[in-house]
Structure 1
Amino acid sequence: MPQHTPHAPFAEGQIGHDLLTRLDEAARYSQPGPGVTRLFCSPEHRQVLPLIEQWMELAGLTPELDAAGSLVGRCPNAQAGKPTLTLGSHQDSVVEGGKYDGMLGIAVPLIALEALRREGITLPYGVEVVAFGDEEGVRFPTTLVGSRALAGTTDPQQLKARDKQGISLKEALRSFGVEPDGIPALARDPANTLGFVEVHIEQGPRLEQHDHAVGVVTSLTGIERHQVTVSGKAGHAGTTPMPGRHDALVGASEMVLAVDRVLQTTEGLVGVVGQLDVHPNAVNVIPASVTFTVELRSPQSETRQRGHETIQAALDEVAERRELTLSMDNTYRADGAHCAEWIMHGLEQACATVEQPTDRMFSGAGHDGLAMQDVTDIGMLFVRCKEGLSHHPDESISAEDGEAAVRVIMAFLQQLDAFRCR
């Protein structure tokens, strides 16, 4: 990182104000409608990149769009091959999501690095900040494309996944202006990677309940996703007798309720049927087929497996009884991840340095750390969000909490070598 100080240090309270201003600006790059809708390799994704590039340059980093669609900013030490700490999060959103989920974890480390640069502080190791292209898995039936690329665990089958328009992930990346054949070369060297740290809104109420601005994450939940296809037989809604119909939607409706029953009665397991598509989706035609998703979450792989098997048996029973055909295909699976003790301790010490009380807490959401754990130690800092609300247009944090998170990361970066030597 450059030795000079190009600008005066941030004034008291300016960091939090500038952080929210940046996140407001990033939220403008969205499809029309409530909240933020910015999907992977979309026009909105392309449009937000110059803004993030500006943030990276202010932090003393050189930005580059990689073959997986992630924007990576690297400091001179990282470019020179020194051991490097990776920070960052995702720029993509769910449909009609909030402005802080993901983007906060890009803006916080960049402002932290900019603040250190303004103070003339040079870090002795490399730093890279990554704006991952895809974490939400909304456009394609796969996810963690960018972080799996850095971890060196990309499955070539991922690139064959298609969106609802029939565009493959490989085609989307090429249209976006990158060459996906270069993804294998993105894998980071574990011996040269110091760790991965992500800042994220909590997506839950615990910090608010404890009146804490930040929290240290202990582990991330495991996730698996399935695509279920129910096939029946189309027919005229007015002339086909009710007895003997093979209505795929009626069968799928019963299956959705069966999924909910399993989730309600299996301890330690949560999930959702989040998408449902009906064909031919006409007002006077008996539905011929229905496709829906089943997502299961638990930190214990055994719990997810048991839930999956119970759900599969329940769906098979409905299909057999209603004379429908059924397929249930796994589209994504990631085991839970434990955060490294040295990173948790380091974040706690950084919180103490800036006089921020904190707790250790579990994440019920999945993050890019699920992929990054395969290449390096991971850690995560949660930031309080109003009413624990996330994946919603009303997602909200305060400038004071945002500044607290930035100052924690600044302290963590300056004390990193001491934490790692423990």
Structure 2
Amino acid sequence: MKQLYRVNSQRMQNRISELAEIGKQTRGGVTRKALTEEDRKAQLLVTKWMEEAGMTVKQDHFGNIIGRIAGTNPATPAVVIGSHIDTVPNGGNFDGTIGVIGGIEVAQIISEESITINHPLEVIAFLDEEGTRFDGGLFGSRGMVGKLTEADLLKKDGQGISRLEAMQEFGLDPSLMMESVRKREDMKVFLELHIEQGPYLQAINQPVGIVKGIAGPAWLSVTVKGESGHAGTVPMKLRKDPMAGAAEMISEIERICSRQDDAPTVGTIGKINALPGGTNVIPEQVEFSLDIRDIDLTRRDACMKEIKEKIELICHKRGLTFHICEHLVQEPIACAGHVIDTMKHASKLLSVEAPIMISGAGHDAMMVADLTDIGLIFVRCKDGISHNPNEWADIDDISIGVSLLFETTLAYC
């Protein structure tokens, strides 16, 4: 790998390991939910690293941490690097975090080598990308582009605490959020580095890939209501059981999303909850989450339409009622052609054969695309495992990814 300026792999490895200690679980994973004490500690650590890298640091009113190095012409739009540091419950050490740590490394090389940049450089650690404490992720990036609603602030966690209350407890003032909405003229380009979260790069034995598009996620919740009763006294044929109805719906969702082998539609039920929740009680209500994704918007929406029709038919057949809440429905996003070309050129300079690929996972970049052109770099992860304590990416691969990020950043700065 050829490069004029070398990333400090050991420094990045140390930072990945240090951040992984915050929220470390006994089973080996990491839990850092948004607006928790673990999140606060992680933000303070990232702030310290940004300052060590020569950046001035601030927190906006959404809770995003923003580090900045001024360019020779501070009035010009910034080149922005960003990702997140929150995790899913019992998640891994690399998802999101290598993008933030990699961005800080880029800034630190620029500072240490006294590299002159014309455009300012910003590195952002977005708040609550995962959405595991409150329904609806990508909170910090959605806020930055002005896509939040009052309903987002009123959503509650498992303890009944609203996001609004949690933000206030965190020291944020949600009433000032509009002051932190960014404008198109603020950013020249947005770049993100992330582990692949899939097996493709490992299968073709390449350390990094260049993303050309991000599948559009639809995050919904389905509430099914029936009639509660005693588990031992209500005959099966007389039941209005929302759990049995939900089970049939979930089976239909799997069938619909699996129907075409060559179509990358994916459907996931990640959470399910029954009320009142007694072992010997037929539930009165069942709620489950639904995540539908596809790079093709028409195909995804047709899939969603068919799923909704099946839910209605099942409820009619079983004497149930239902409600579907759409928390986030995002169109697929294309990465900018000129950014892809810049990354391809940079990969050749580094003697790296980076394939062009699709992202099935959502990222903060897809929100920032409302403000500016975006680019996304993937780093190979072992067996494609992510959102799991076994998530792993080799520091050599991460270093190649950060080198590609660095060269791309310099091309725009």
Alignment TM-score, normalising by the size of structure 2? 0.94
Maintained 8 Å contact 2:226/2:283: yes
How far 1:242 moved relative to its partner? 2.9
> Of the candidates 348, 352, 355, which is equivalent to residue 352 of structure 1?
348
1:211 is the counterpart of 2:196:
no
Q: Percent identity?
A: 33
SS in 2 for 1:243: helix
**Corresponding residue of 1:309:** 305
AA paired with 2:38?
E
Deviations 1:91-138 (A, max 9, x none): 111111111000110000111221222222121110111101111121
Give the corresponding residue for 1:15: 8
For the Cα contact (< 8 Å) 1:268–1:303, is it kept in 2? no
Q: Distance in 2 between matches of 1:310 and 1:68?
A: 36
Once residues 300 and 158 of structure 2 are traced to their aligned partners in structure 1, the CA distance between those partners, rounded to angstroms, is 27
Q: Of 284, 289, 293, which residue of structure 2 is paired with 1:288?
A: 284
Residue identity matched to 1:63: V
Higher mean Cα deviation, 59-68 or 80-89?
Answer: 80-89
1:285–1:78 Cα change, 3 Å: farther
Q: How does 1:234-383 map to 2 (within 5 A)?
A: 234-266=228-260, 267-383=263-379
Q: State how far apart, in whole Å, the 1-side matches of 2:220 and 2:410 are.
A: 43
SS of the residue aligned with 2:238?
Answer: coil
Paired letter, 2:215: T
Instruction: Spell out, residue by residue over 1:162-184, the C-alpha distance to the aligned partner (whole angstroms, 9 max, x if none).
Output: 22222222221111111112221
Which one of the candidate residues 14, 17, 29 is aligned to 1:24? 17
**2:126 alignment partner in structure 1:** 132
Please tell me whether the aligned partners of residues 228 and 241 of structure 2 are also in contact (alpha carbons under 8 angstroms). Answer: yes
- Is 1:68 aligned to 2:62, yes or no? yes
- Structure 2 stretches of 5 or more lacking a match? none
Instruction: Name the amino acid aligned to 2:344.
Output: E
Cα distance in 1 for residues equivalent to 2:185 and 2:143: 17
1:122 aligned partner, one-letter code: T
Counterpart AA for 2:389? P
Aligned 8 A contact 1:16 1:401 in 2: no
CA–CA distance in structure 2, aligned partners of residues 118 and 212 of structure 1: 30
What whole-Å deviation, never above 9, does each CA across 1:274-332 have from its counterpart, x for those lacking one? 11001111111111110001110012221121111111111111111111111112111
SS in 2 for 1:308: helix
**What is the 5 A alignment of 1:125-274?**
125-266=119-260, 267-274=263-270
Q: 2:395 aligns with which of 399, 412, 422?
A: 399
Q: Which residue of structure 2 lines up, in the alignment, with residue 92 of structure 1?
A: 86
Distance 1:12 1:136 in 2: 33
1:345-404 alpha-carbon deviations (Å, 9 max, x no partner):
111222222222211111111111121111110100111111111111111111211211
- CA distance in 1 between counterparts of 2:242 and 2:148 reads 35
Instruction: Please tell me the root mean square deviation across aligned C-alpha atoms, in Å.
Output: 2.0
Q: Distance in 1 between matches of 2:296 and 2:110?
A: 40
1:31-76: CA deviation from partner (whole Å, max 9, x where unpaired): 6343111111111101111210111012211121211111111123
- Find the residue that maps to 1:123 and give its secondary structure: coil
The amino acid across from 2:16 in the alignment is: L
Kept after mapping to 2: 8 A contact 1:237/1:284: yes
